[in-house]
Amino acid sequence: MSTTSTPPTPSTHGSEQSVRWHATWAQSLPDVRADGEWFADVTLRSHLRVSAGGDRVRLQFGNRFGDHPLRIGRSAVSTRGRTAAATFDGRDGVTVPVGSSVLTDPIDLPVGHHGAVKVDFHLPERTLFPPLFAGSGDFTCQMSEPGDHVGAAAFPAVTAPPFPMPDDADLTLHESGPFLRTVEVANRVPHAVVVCLGDSITAMGWPEIAAGLLPGGSGLSVVNRGIPGNRLRLDAGPANLSNGRSGLSRFEDDVLKTAGVAQVVVALGTNDLGLPGAFEPLGELPTAAELIAGYETLLERAGTADVRVRIATITARSGSDDYDERREQIRGAVNDWMIRALGPEVVIDFDKALRCDTSPLRLDRRYDSGDHLHPSAAGQEQLARTAVAALLAELP
């Protein structure tokens, strides 16, 4: 496997070189080779809700962690009752090399602010990707029966197995499927893209909720680059590859190479505290100083790229499976450093937004999914409101 990521090459049809494109929906693609399955001649349909609208749209497909070239057959985008085919340099399909990403040609299909979009693409060859789980609401991916069903009015979806969750957990899971990495739009008015770099708390969907709360004329687009199990400092170990490369490792690909990026919200650190001793070696538990150094590195790298950084405090975790006093002391020291050293211009206080007033080391019952770590649906909405308030406060 290639250890570098090739930036996508857009079409160069004359005036296209002067068009400005901005990400309006995104996800991160973790390494799922350890738990993937092989499928052939199937169509995937992703149900998405974008952030900012635009006059035209294009798609980015990625094969960052593949062992084999990825063959994509026909593909299409649907919104507002219209469907348009996607092409690659004028051709119906494309082969994505290992470690690379590709962009479709621009598609003449207007997309509305916070609009619902469907993306279909056919995988004609034997392809490895993770099983698709039943999602919810606007964030689901379906796999078809065998065949090319791109654009089908009645999509012949295969029933997905339920995602195994605790019976008492109020978790909202969003399943957007493999390979589709980014949706971009072209706007007459430029948009500042806010990339949310996070773990499962981010992947669960507060950025998409935040995008819907932003007024259409805000000039902002919010996209989600969260990976469940992701850490700030260290890549996932060999037994947990789907937890992804660390925030530090993927910052270049997932933030700086996002079209139109102007800001990043870093919401990482929870798994740096929680995974060591359970899923990763205990010796990987960081000190407060080591975590702080990780945030400082991201601040420096973003500043060099002229990208504004917002850092979210680490939310309460008392009562969770991996909670102990040592980890709590580290969390408290890191959050204190953020608030004291960085201040409200940089910090978004997710901890304050979700914690219980009378027992501040715990999540408020309204915002607790039941595992005392992940926010409930109401907690996700609270995080979205908190992020939007911070983003809008800086607008002229």
Higher pLDDT, 6 or 216: 216
Domain boundary among 122, 143, 164: 143
Same-domain pairing of 257 and 322 = yes
Which amino acid does the sequence have at 232?
L
Model pLDDT, residue 175: 60
Task: Determine, yes or no, domain membership for 211.
Answer: yes
Cα distance between residue 44 and residue 342, in whole Å: 43
The CATH number linked to 261 is 3.40.50.1110
Residue with the two structure tokens 């910090």: 347
**Exposure string over 145-182, b if 16+ CB within 10 A, otherwise e:** eeebbbbeeebebeebeeeeeeeeebbbbbbbbbbbbb
Give tens-digit pLDDT for 346-383. Answer: 999 999 999 999 999 999 999 999 999 999 999 999 99
Model pLDDT, residue 197: 98
Same-domain pairing of 293 and 360 = yes
Calculate what percentage of the chain has a pLDDT beyond 90. Answer: 79
Which amino acid does the sequence have at 62?
G
CA angle 68, 234, 132 (to 5 degrees): 45
Does residue 31 carry a pLDDT above 90?
Answer: no
Higher pLDDT, 393 or 330: 330
pTM reported for the whole predicted model:
0.91
Sheet with 101-103: strands ordered across: 21-26, 180-186, 56-62, 101-103
Does residue 10 carry a pLDDT above 90?
Answer: no
Give tens-digit pLDDT for 227-284. Answer: 999 999 999 999 999 999 999 999 999 999 999 999 999 999 999 999 999 999 999 9
Does residue 184 carry a pLDDT above 90?
Answer: yes
Same-domain pairing of 198 and 326 = yes
Same-domain pairing of 346 and 246 = yes
Q: Span 9-34, mean pLDDT? A: 72
Helix axis angle for 206-213 and 377-393, nearest 10°, is: 50
| Total domain count, the chain | 2
Average pLDDT of the chain to the nearest whole number: 89
Task: Determine, yes or no, domain membership for 328.
Answer: yes
CA distances from 340 to 120, 287, 291, 377 (A): 47, 18, 15, 30
- State which residues form the domain around 358: 191-393
Give tens-digit pLDDT for 75-105. Answer: 999 999 999 999 999 999 999 999 999 999 9
CB 349 within 8 A of CB 178: no
Model pLDDT, residue 174: 59
Domain boundary among 143, 165, 182: 143
Same-domain pairing of 111 and 197 = no
Same-domain pairing of 205 and 298 = yes
Does residue 396 carry a pLDDT above 80?
Answer: no
Domain boundary among 143, 174, 202: 143
Q: Which residues contact 91 (CB under 8 A, 6 or more apart)?
A: none
